[in-house]
Amino acid sequence: MIDHAPLVLASGSPRRLALLEQIGVVPEHLFPAELDESPLPDEPPRVLAVRLAKRKAEVARERFLGEERKAPFVLAADTVVSVGRRVLPKAETEREARACLARLSGRSHRVNTAICLISPSGKIREKRVETRVKFKRLSKAEIDAYVASGEWKGKAGGYAIQGLAAVFVADLIGSHSSVIGLPLFETAALLAGEGYPLTRAWADGAAMQTVEA
């Protein structure tokens, strides 16, 4: 039984869950927040990411408290891929995936991931991480093969840097985990700064590994 406020992850993304688990954080609850993620008129990509992350956290907290539960930590994130001011979609069709890859081919693009943490007291803390990624020039055969893999489905910008698309990345300046969907350094700092027992599970995990070995 936990002796601290529970952690709610306002996402159903297996990638974000895996990233949290990588640093020893296992949310007690998953409350995906479904929103219209369309940019507002003239809304810059970095502003869009922050707005969506905050709203996801607020929606998840409202749902959780609506069930008359103990006030939680709520963590949300949103990742926006853009070329200039043009926001690329989370590709859902092959046509969208091909369009994204063609636009990214041989060019640099920006990946803005914003995180929002709402503490049990209701305090809101936010952080945005911008990473620059440069793709090699992609051949038609490479685009065809990647689209056939299906890895792009539901991914911002139509690719997954942690998967096959890693071979497309010629350069990266910033946070690799942020491109996947959750900047770990900044996430850990927000959690620890609000009193979440970030490192408490580390020793337990090490002990478990020792026993299993």
User: What is the rounded CA–CA span in Å between residue 151 and residue 155?
Assistant: 8
Per the annotation, the verdict on 144 as an active-site residue is no
User: What is the rounded CA–CA span in Å between residue 75 and residue 70?
Assistant: 15
Q: Are 198 and 24 in contact (CB under 8 A)?
A: yes
User: What is the rounded CA–CA span in Å between residue 131 and residue 74?
Assistant: 24
User: What is the rounded CA–CA span in Å between residue 112 and residue 125?
Assistant: 17
Choosing from 3, 36, 78, 144, which is the catalytic residue?
Answer: 78
Q: Which residue has the tokens 């891929």?
A: 81
Identity at 181, one-letter amino acid code: G
Active site residues: 78
